[in-house]
Amino acid sequence: MAVNKMKPLAQTQLQTFLKRFENFKDAELRSLKILSPTAMQLTLAVQDSARAFDWITITLEFNGVSDAKLLDEQQLLFIDMSEGISLIFEDNLFAFGISECYNISSIKNSSLYLIAESLKYEEGQF
């Protein structure tokens, strides 16, 4: 697999990023890796509108994780991704959650969520 370098995802890029991948609707959660107590990587398979909707993988790396609800990797396949994901920047924090969420408070009701100081991403082959 071609290895790209992790790229920072700024708050100003979140909406464009989510739009490119149609909010990750019907994506597949591939893996969740705990790199350290405050660093985690989540890999998803998703269709990319910038590539004629070819499937690619996106790895999101969260650093400075201050709160999270995690699942065993075996449970990732059973998460309903029909509503996609939410990526929100609020109170100088990045928040990730499953389904449509509007703020950090609603993200905390998600079946899987991460709240962190910074967010990077990497594109990979399907």
Cα–Cα distance, 95 to 37 (Å, whole number)? 17
pLDDT at 69: 97
- The one-character DSSP state at 18 is H
120 DSSP β-pair partners? 8, 61
How confident is the model over 54-66, as pLDDT tens digits? 999 999 999 999 9
Q: What is the pLDDT tens value at each position of the chain, 126 positions in all? A: 445 589 999 999 999 999 999 999 999 999 999 999 999 999 999 999 999 999 999 999 999 999 999 999 899 989 999 999 999 999 999 999 999 999 999 999 999 999 999 999 999 988
Q: For the whole prediction, is pTM greater than 0.85?
A: yes
H/E stretch holding 79 reads none
pLDDT at 78: 92
> Domain limits of the chain?
7-125
